[in-house]
Amino acid sequence: TMAYHRKHGLRTNIARIFNTYGPRMKLNDGRVVPQFLDQALQGRPITVYGDGSQTRSFCYVSDLVAGLLATMFTEAAQNEVINLGNPGEFTILELAKIARSVAGSTSEIRHLEARPEEIAAAIVFLASEEASYITGATLDVNGGALMG
């Protein structure tokens, strides 16, 4: 995209989307939020790879949409790489505990062997690149619900 911008001098927008969650997620799509919730709701062990200290940034879907719109229509975002996520991070173990709590489950949290491709921290991964956050949701337990 940036090569196209440089060659043709046209406005470009690059949005890098973080872990998004929200209504109607498919339980078997491989993403961690629906996987943990499904495991907890079914009373199955919640599977965490490694010790669970790896972190992720989560973004509620309506915040993502707002961020995409802001990326498209904000002059400051023109020709920039914009991270659409949440500057706050949660460990995977914290997320497993939140999923268990929200589901009202007693599921065991089962630690499996760490995967070599696992990224330790979302923000550290992005820190080497110049990019900005436009929007993000907080992942919180308030009355038993994930809040966007």
pLDDT digits (tens, 9 = 90+) for 35-77: 999 999 999 999 999 999 998 888 889 988 988 998 888 888 8
Instruction: Output the pLDDT for position 136.
Output: 42
User: In 32-66, which positions are buried (b, 16+ CB within 10 angstroms) versus exposed (e)?
Assistant: bbbbbbbbbbeeeebbbeeebebbbbbbbeebbeb
Tell me the β-bridge partners of 146: 141
pLDDT digits (tens, 9 = 90+) for 54-65: 988 888 899 889
In sequence order, the 6+-apart residues with CB closer than 8 A to the CB of 7 are none
In sequence order, the 6+-apart residues with CB closer than 8 A to the CB of 130 are 81
For the chain, helix, strand, coil in percent to 5 are 35, 20, 45
Instruction: Output the pLDDT for position 100.
Output: 96
Task: Give dist(CA 116, CA 7) in Å, integer.
Answer: 38
H-run or E-run covering 16:
strand 14-17
Q: Enumerate helices (H) and strands (E) in the chain, giving the number of each.
A: 5, 11
Q: Tell me: pLDDT of 118 over 90.
A: no
CA proximity to 20, closest of 49, 57, 71, 66: 57
